[in-house]
Amino acid sequence: MLLHVLSCVVIATSGTIGYYSVSGWRRADFSESSFLSVSRGIIAGVLLSTGLTNLLPRGIKDLEPWAELPIGGMAVLLGCGLVMALPQRYFLRVSVTDEAQNGLDGPAAVLRRLEDIHAIRAKVEKLIPVIGAHSVLFGFCIGVSTDPYAVWPLTITLSLFNLYEGMFLGNDMIQIAQQDRPIIGGLPELIQIKFRLGSVSTIYLFYALTMPLSVALVSSIHNDLSPRNNMLQGVLTCVTSGMLTYLGLVGANVERNWQTIVSAFIAAGLMTVLAW
């Protein structure tokens, strides 16, 4: 149980660190920086390696008594389908540009900029439930697992993944904070303050509560003496493997340049070493 608690603390902390590190950086061109390309590759490599070399073999091993049935493969497909059903907004570049304002001035330009600000806010608000869903599903896998060799690689992977999500949230916040030109009596400042206060509290709740609650729920109904324990643990491990594999493939496919590819191979190799 102590291992589960430590895992939740590390994972929740990484997300908030990523959010505030980027939101305090104040760089409007973060979405185009080489740092983001390298981080995309690292996260993609870690997700793929953890899903395919760390979790999938352990899940298949737990399902050995039911090897005649394709339970492991179906669980992996289920994990991929669950992620496909969620809007992967954190992989999309969200930015506010002035291209849509060309030829516009006066009230039309003001309305255009306000629409851009609200568009970013809507995308961030869609991202927050995705973070909660990921935390709940990954928390189920951590809560049912009793093998520290399976928990720690998953903890490292989810910490980096939440750090990545937090960085994208911080980047989206920058797009609103960098509105330097005044609009109608400081209206952007009012929107920014309200948006930041609401987002910070919501992000803290999702990062700090969703995964611990899901881990506590599964741990409370988990029984090591039950013959169904291995099946439940194997199915959840395979589901998590499918989720991580899909997320890794999508993340690596967003920006296919040499920096992303090289960093993905290096990160995957390092995580594969941990599986030995």
Using one digit for the tens of pLDDT, what is the confidence trace for 173-190? 555 555 544 444 444 444
Describe the crossing of helices 258-274 and 148-177 by its angle, rounded to 10 degrees.
150
Query: What pLDDT is attached to residue 42?
Result: 82
Top pLDDT among 182 and 213 is at 213
Query: What pLDDT is attached to residue 100?
Result: 41
Q: What percentage of the chain reaches a pLDDT higher than 90?
A: 0
* Residue pointed to by tokens 């809507």: 122
Please determine, for residue 193, whether its predicted confidence score (pLDDT) is greater than 50: no
Read off the pLDDT band of 53 (50, 70, 90): confident
For residue 183, which phi and psi values (nearest 5 degrees)?
-130, 110
Query: What pLDDT is attached to residue 57?
Result: 85
- Could you tell me if 50 and 154 are in contact, meaning their C-beta atoms sit under 8 angstroms apart? yes
Residue type, 176: I
Domain residue spans of the chain? 2-274
Query: What pLDDT is attached to residue 191?
Result: 44
Please determine, for residue 154, whether its predicted confidence score (pLDDT) is greater than 60: yes
Helix count (H) and strand count (E) of the chain?
A: 9, 0
Using one digit for the tens of pLDDT, what is the confidence trace for 54-87? 888 888 888 888 877 888 889 889 888 887 776 5
Please determine, for residue 43, whether its predicted confidence score (pLDDT) is greater than 70: yes
Query: What pLDDT is attached to residue 94?
Result: 40
Please determine, for residue 10, whether its predicted confidence score (pLDDT) is greater than 80: no
- Could you tell me if 221 and 144 are in contact, meaning their C-beta atoms sit under 8 angstroms apart? no
Give the three-state DSSP class for 34: helix
